[in-house]
Amino acid sequence: MDARGAWYLVGPAMGLVVVGLLWVANRPLGALGGWIDLHALMRRPSEKAGWRLFFLAGIVGGGLLHALLAGGPQPTFAYAGPSAPLSSPLVLGLAGALMGYGARTAGGCTSGHGICGTALGSPASFVATMTFMATAIAVANVVTRVLLGGGS
Amino acid sequence: MRSRWIAVPFGVAFGFLIAWGHLTDPQVIRSMLLLREADVFLLMGSAMAVGATGAHLLRAFGARSLVGREPITWTRTRPGRNHVIGSIIFGLGWSIACTCPGPIAAQLGAGQLAALFTGTGLLVGIGLRGWQAARTKATPPGDGTTAAAGL
């Protein structure tokens, strides 16, 4: 289970999860909403958590389930990010803040816009997906080739 | 209001697939963004194709949701400036951390504790956007619950 699942198995299966959630609960899949619900719950703990937080909690559980099948989670703070300086807690936190601010502005993230919204044919999701893909590809290449001197 | 618990098994399945596809591994995302491998693009493309096919079959057969017996519907949103500007900012953060909101949650479950940093940042960014929107009395588009508006 430790081996990486092939894209032609994982991708279509994710598509089935999108369809399943739509069929069973008439809900669009996306990870960002759960984080928004979590933020709302942290601000007002007395209010009822939204369904999207339950979906997000499920994702955490799915990560744990996979780790258990792959020999148990081995908790670590090590992060094989782009390079050592870019993997510091401060930079990761800043990157997280950019993602949270940006995704909430755009109304979705890689799963919500990139997989579900495009599957449902929403023009805004195609625009959002093309924009964050192009931006991330451009920035990653510039950072790697220019700032990090083309290192691996 | 139907049970919110029904979302949990779908989350588990999605999180498991994220981890199985090693989308929790920042090096996999990095290889994708540096265009060193096509796998994640193919993964997302095939997920989208299957999702689109299934969603249109549901609509063609006039299916109702199994919980709540609602007609299955979704909204299509016209692109606006917020989708472009927000996605540029999102893409910037994504390219730095080489992870995104779904994989961050799966990383937490898998014991990749650096996700605590990215996850905390995510909540701060979400809060900042909400605070800004409250000041200008505009609702962030991410707060809806319809397909294209609130993911």
From chain A, the residues in CB contact with B8 under 8 A are 54-55, 57-58, 61
**Predicted pLDDT of residue A1:** 63
CB contact under 8 A, A15 and B70: no
Q: Is A103 left (phi over 0), alpha (psi -120 to 50) or beta?
A: alpha
Question: Does residue B38 carry a pLDDT above 70?
Answer: yes
Q: What's the ipTM?
A: 0.95
CB contact under 8 A, A19 and B58: yes
Whole-model pTM?
0.93
SS3 for chain A is CCCCCCHHHHHHHHHHHHHHHHHHHCCCCCCHHHHHHHHHHHHCCCCCCCHHHHHHHHHHHHHHHHHHHCCCCCCECCCCCCCCHHHCHHHHHHHHHHHHHHHHHHCCCCCHHHHHHHHCCCHHHHHHHHHHHHHHHHHHHHHHHHHCCCCC
Chain B interface mutation, best of A38, A120, A127, A139, highest count of B Cβ atoms under 10 Å = A120
Question: Does residue A152 carry a pLDDT above 60?
Answer: no
pLDDT higher for B141 or A9? A9
* Among chain B residues, CA nearest to A92: B118
Reference B4, options A64, A44, A21, A13; nearest CA is: A21
From chain B, the residues in CB contact with A10 under 8 A are 17, 20-21, 43
> How many Å separate Cα A141 from the centre of its chain?
20
B93-148 pLDDT, tens digit per residue, is 999 999 999 999 999 999 999 999 999 999 999 999 999 999 987 666 555 444 44
Q: How confident is the model at residue A9 (pLDDT cuts 50, 70, 90)?
A: very high
* Among chain B residues, CA nearest to A54: B8
**Among B28-37, B59-68, B134-143, whose mean pLDDT is lowest?**
B134-143
